[in-house]
Amino acid sequence: MIELLAPAGDLEKLKFAFLYGADAVYIGGQNYSLRANAKNFSLEDIEKGVSFAHSLNKKVYVTVNIIFHEEDVIGLEDYLKKLDDIGVDAIIVSDLYVVKLTKKLKLNLEVHLSTQASVLNQDAALFYKKLGVQRLVLAREASKEDIKKIKETTGVDLECFVHGAMCTSFSGRCVLSNVVTNRDANRGGCAQVCRFTFLCDEEPCFSMTSKDLNMIENIEEMLKIGVNSFKVEGRMRGIYYIATVILSYRRIIDKILNHTLTNQDKEYYLRVLNRCANRESKPQFFDGVPDKSGQYFLGRQEVSNQDFLGLVLDYDDNNKIVKLEQRNYFKVGDEVEFFGPNMETFSYKIHRIENELHEEIEVANHPNMVVYLKVLYPLKKFDIMRVKWFDK
Amino acid sequence: MKNKFLIIPGENALEKVNNCDFLFPLKGFCVGMNKTFSLEEIPDDSFVYINRLLDCHSIKLLGNLMPLFIKKVKGVVFEDIGVLEVLKEVDKKFITIYYGTHSLCSSYTVNSFLEEVDTCILANDITYDEIKIILNKAKKEIGLLVYGHLPYMYSRRNLLSNYAENFNLEKRKQRLIKEPISKKEFLVVENEFGTVLYDPFEYDGRVFLNEDNISYLLIDLNFLKTDSISKWFNDFVSGQRLDKPSKGFLEQKTIYRLPPKGEEK
């Protein structure tokens, strides 16, 4: 089984993730998840998400991956039973108590071990396999040799992160946030203190900020060594990021499986992903411990981009008019491109923009304003218009 | 003292201390330690400490050491659960001690681990009240750190070397850094297996010296130099003031949900 696994911070993102090619999503409930300050899913939302996913023959995993303190256990058993009743496909856990409780309750859902448990070797993998854990999300520090060995030794389903932000520490082995901000990192309150800068005697400021992970060039090798699930980080990310990243990995994986992947494809999707990211990215630990090029040395080094120009709401086939919701400033004369899950990306020069009243305007400059453009190629609802930066 | 102690000796001369065993950080299998020991260097019937998270190659190397473990080792304190599997394969019953530096935060989790190992050492980032509850509810005796520098972060990256290389500075294996807003300081220690950030203050957990349901009280002298461990120990248990004491998280309950806007303190 090969799976592309996407993050989803809410129902809208869940739908985009599936639409753009994810086989499964992972989400957080209102409790017990490591993104305590995200919007997260109510039980009602989880039920809707699961129902939507199953209608597409896709899966939903729910993170229950905090490190439990005494007070957090209250309500956990009921919560797990409810997730099981709803039909959630798996929970992602890190605390051994939750692993054992889930097995004791004889729930139907699978138990996947979170990266927070830092599994990095075959013996740790065997420990959890014997407890009935069906899948391991390996530590991001696992090299290709580690992944291969763990697969060969245990045969257990392996899930590896392929894209997104990295902790500087082993995930789960850091309480800097607790110390500096009093926010508990291992219960979802992480303040990302590893992205701060620190004073260091008379020397330049000390920084340990990690660049992001990007495995687009290594997917083929990951498939060969037995990775089952390719996981994208980012439950706090927006729909544009999810659509772009998931579609890129979907296309790469499909082309590998169809034996049609070219170097040109890899280069193109690498450029797309780099353009979409707000930090530089590297394969990090896949080929060994990263050197200084895996880090930033001036603290946070993030850039935001305004590439997401509009979301397709509708397309009039007869008149070739697209109805678009604006997301960032664009104007007549701009070179843009459209992309979506069921089409090849194409370029387009904006010749005319009409507002909601069909009056001609020169610029689309109000957030979420509805505009109309004439586009000859057919589009579908939820296709996306973005800035054009390069040709394929 | 009614409780038993495990002492990480650091660079100090080894001398017999009543009611105490030494816990030797094992060379090649530890991070953040000033002094580590090979199996050849330690006495028979010793406790060894493995605080690294081990990759596949390293855990295989550990497996290769098992014949010597049988001869020299009585008990093992470890953080990587894979170590337990390696020890189970050996025809000797070791005392197995799981140290969940940041992960053993509830009696439920502790009791789950106690079904697998002989005893556990609790997380260092929980409060006094939480520790008391866990001690009361633990199904076996459990361990606690009572002295040392609290480890706050463990990275596989060589953070000090990378920093020195990037700025063309002299390479050092330890540095003190300070977060400028909170003024919190961290002692950064690196070896070839990664980097650990410690509290530069000395954790004082003497409030637990006479607790019940204790398997071992852990004393970590990794950063302390003394002429006599025995004298230091006697001073410590008799309540002598530490140079730079810290209560760690004993009185600091953390939060993880931010209060709604307008209700912040």
Query: What mean pLDDT is predicted for residues B14-20?
Result: 93
SS3 at position A16: helix
A108 vs A41: CA distance, rounded Å: 21
Q: Are residues A127 and A194 in the same domain?
A: yes
Query: What mean pLDDT is predicted for residues B18-39?
Result: 97
Q: Are residues A205 and A315 in the same domain?
A: no
Residue A302 is predicted with a pLDDT of 72
Residue A303 lies in a domain: no
Q: Are residues A334 and A237 in the same domain?
A: no
Q: What is the CATH number of the domain that holds A87?
A: 3.20.20.70
What percent of chain B is modeled with pLDDT above 70? 97
Q: Is the pLDDT of residue B265 over 80?
A: no
B157 and chain A in contact, CB less than 8 A: yes
Domain boundary pick from A294, A319, A346: A294
Domain boundary pick from A259, A294, A329: A294
Residue A301 lies in a domain: no
Tens-digit pLDDT string for chain A (392 aa): 899 999 999 999 999 999 999 999 999 998 888 777 677 899 999 999 999 999 999 999 999 999 999 999 999 999 999 999 999 999 999 999 999 999 999 999 999 999 999 999 999 999 999 999 999 999 999 999 999 999 999 999 999 999 999 999 999 999 999 999 999 999 988 999 999 999 998 889 999 999 999 999 999 999 999 999 999 999 889 999 999 999 999 999 999 999 999 999 999 999 999 988 888 999 999 999 999 999 999 866 677 788 999 999 999 999 999 999 999 999 999 999 999 999 999 999 999 999 999 999 999 999 999 999 999 999 999 999 999 988 77
**Interface touch A180/B165, C-beta < 8 Å:** no
B265 vs B259: CA distance, rounded Å: 9
- Reported in sequence order, the residue ranges of A8-78 that DSSP labels E, i.e. its strands, are 24-28, 59-64
Q: Are residues A37 and A130 in the same domain?
A: yes
Tell me which residue in B56, B102, B155 faces A145 most closely, judged by beta carbons: B56
Å from B189 to nearest chain A CA? 13
Q: Are residues A141 and A218 in the same domain?
A: yes
Residue A211 lies in a domain: yes
Residue A300 lies in a domain: no
Residue B240 is predicted with a pLDDT of 94
Q: Are residues A357 and A222 in the same domain?
A: no
Range list of H helices, A20-121:
43-55, 76-86, 96-104
Residue A391 is predicted with a pLDDT of 78
SS3 at position A253: helix
Q: Are residues A275 and A342 in the same domain?
A: no
Residue A34 is predicted with a pLDDT of 77
> Domain range holding A352?
308-387
Residue A378 is predicted with a pLDDT of 96
What's CA B41's distance to the chain center, in Å? 21
Q: What is the CATH number of the domain that holds A328?
A: 2.40.30.10
Chain A residues close to B82, C-beta within 8 Å: 119-127
A204 and chain B in contact, CB less than 8 A: yes
B96 and chain A in contact, CB less than 8 A: no
Cβ atoms A196, B183 nearer than 8 A? no
A172 and chain B in contact, CB less than 8 A: yes
Q: Which residues contact A193 (CB under 8 A, 6 or more apart)?
A: A176, A177, A179, A180, A181, B179
Residue B264 is predicted with a pLDDT of 53
Residue B114 is predicted with a pLDDT of 98
Residue A206 lies in a domain: yes
Chain B residues close to A285, C-beta within 8 Å: 156
Q: Are residues A356 and A382 in the same domain?
A: yes
Residue A234 lies in a domain: yes
Residue B256 is predicted with a pLDDT of 76
B130 and chain A in contact, CB less than 8 A: yes
Residue B134 is predicted with a pLDDT of 98
Residue A35 is predicted with a pLDDT of 72
Residue A392 lies in a domain: no
pLDDT tens for B125-172 read 999 999 999 999 999 999 999 999 999 999 999 999 999 999 999 999
Q: Are residues A255 and A159 in the same domain?
A: yes
For chain A, how are helix, strand and coil distributed in percent, rounded to 5? 30, 25, 45
Tell me which residue in B80, B130, B257 faces A69 most closely, judged by beta carbons: B130
User: Is the pTM higher than 0.90?
Assistant: yes
Q: Are residues A331 and A274 in the same domain?
A: no
A178 vs B253: CA distance, rounded Å: 9
Task: Write out residues 281-340 of A within 8 Å (CB-CB) of B.
Answer: 285, 289-292, 294-295, 297
Closest CA to B219 of B4, B1, B2, B5: B5
Q: Which domains does chain B have, with CATH numbers?
A: 5-149+201-246 (3.20.20), 151-198 (no CATH)
A34 vs A140: CA distance, rounded Å: 16
Task: Write out residues 10-49 of A within 8 Å (CB-CB) of B.
Answer: 36-37
* ipTM computed for the complex: 0.95
Tell me which residue in B111, B116, B179 faces A180 most closely, judged by beta carbons: B179
pLDDT tens for A163-184 read 999 999 999 999 999 999 999 9
Residue A163 lies in a domain: yes
Query: In whole numbers, what is the pLDDT of chain B averaged over residues?
Result: 95
Domain boundary pick from A294, A319, A334: A294
Q: Are residues A35 and A112 in the same domain?
A: yes
Task: Report the residue of A292, A297, A300 to disrupt the B interface, i.e. the one with the largest count of B CBs within 10 Å.
Answer: A292
Read off the pLDDT band of B178 (50, 70, 90).
Answer: very high
B81 and chain A in contact, CB less than 8 A: yes
Cβ atoms B116, B88 nearer than 8 A? no
Q: Are residues A290 and A313 in the same domain?
A: no
Write the burial class of residue A262 (CB in 10 Å: 0-12 exposed, 13-18 middle, 19+ buried): exposed
Chain B residues close to A173, C-beta within 8 Å: 53, 101-102, 153-154
Give me the amino acid identity at A338.
Answer: F
Residue A40 is predicted with a pLDDT of 84
Q: How many independent structural domains does chain A possess?
A: 2
Query: What mean pLDDT is predicted for residues B185-204?
Result: 98
